[in-house]
Amino acid sequence: MGQIKRGIVTDGRGSQVRVQFADGMISPWLDVGQQGTIGKLSYRRFQRGELVLCYLEEKAQTGVAVCAIYNDEDRPPNDGDDVIHEIAPDGAEFLWEPGRMVLRTAGGAEIRLEGDRVRIIGNLNIEGAKVTHNATNIGDRHTHAHGDPAGKTGPPE
C-alpha cells in the first residue's frame, strides 16, 4: 500500500520533480501528474519551493507529484467558487467567470469577452487577405462609391 505526503519541490527536469518532505526525506524523481498526455495535451512542472501533494508507492522508490497546494504564504489569485484564474510567471492572465472571459498579456494588451460584447484593449493589427463585417469586405482591397470632394465616401462595396 502506498502513502500520500506533502512536500516542497527542490528540483525539476522535463516532466519530473524531486520533493523534500517534512521528515527530511528527498524523493526520487517523481512524474508530475498532467491533465492530458494524448490528444488534448497539457503540461506544467511544479516550480522549486512549491508545496505539492505526492503519492508514493510502498517503498517510496517511485510515485507521482499529484498537485500543488496553496498555503498561508502562497495564496490563490482568486477565491470565487465559479472562477478559473491562471497567472503565468510573466504576469499574463486568463480569467473566466460566468458570463465573462479575460485574456491579458504581461504588457497590458487585453481581450475581454463579456456577454455579447468583445472588447480589445491595446494596439490591434489585423492580418489577412480579407476582412469582413456582416459579409461586406472592409479590408484593404475594398472599394467605395465615389464620394463628395470633402472626402466623404459611400459604404464599402
User: What is the third-level CATH fold of 3-68?
Assistant: OB fold (Dihydrolipoamide Acetyltransferase, E2P) (2.40.50)
For residue 26, what are the β-bridge partners? 20
Burial 125-136 (b: 16+ CB within 10 A, else e): eeeeeeeeeeee
Q: Which pLDDT value is given to residue 147?
A: 56
pLDDT band, very low/low/confident/very high, at 109 (cuts 50, 70, 90): very high
Domain residue ranges in the chain: 3-68, 84-121
Task: List the grid coordinates of 64.
Answer: 507521482
pLDDT grade for 81, boundaries at 50, 70 and 90: confident
CA distance linking residue 102 with residue 136, whole number of Å = 28
pTM over 0.95: no
Residues sharing a CB contact under 8 Å with residue 94, sequence separation 6 or more, in sequence order: 84, 85, 86, 101, 102, 103, 104
